[in-house]
Amino acid sequence: MRKFLVILGIIGLVAMACGGGPGNPEDVVKGYLNAMQSGDIDGMMQYMPESEREEMTDEEKEMAEEMLSFMSAIEFEIIGSEIDGEEAVVILEINFMGQLQEQEVKLYLENGKWVLEEGVI
């Protein structure tokens, strides 16, 4: 029995280390932007709030895929982030066709994972 509990404890630690927690807001923003740059709508949606994922129609997905064709020209760099309880802000520097712009991306915890606020980017 003791051996079983030790093994169960190790499995729990490994699961936590491999993403069992809420993750990192910066990684969420990177994942979202990388999916956006590659035109992967489904990949982008995994970082969006559940309500927004449920409301998106197939027609809206198609329109978004068409609009994303120019996103590969955008370069971004995360220059900072801050977590305050169940909310976070990630600050990006975006370079689009030589124009630099700084943007804050707000996130919040939803069902134990970080998601982007609605209407971001």
Determine whether 108 is exposed, middle or buried from the number of CB atoms within 10 Å of its CB (0-12, 13-18, 19+): middle
User: Which positions of the chain have pLDDT values less than 70?
Assistant: 1-22, 118-121
In this prediction, residue 112 carries a pLDDT of: 93
Fold for the domain defined by 22-116: Nuclear Transport Factor 2; Chain: A, (3.10.450)
* Beta strand ranges found along the chain (DSSP E): 74-84, 87-96, 99-110, 113-116
In this prediction, residue 120 carries a pLDDT of: 56
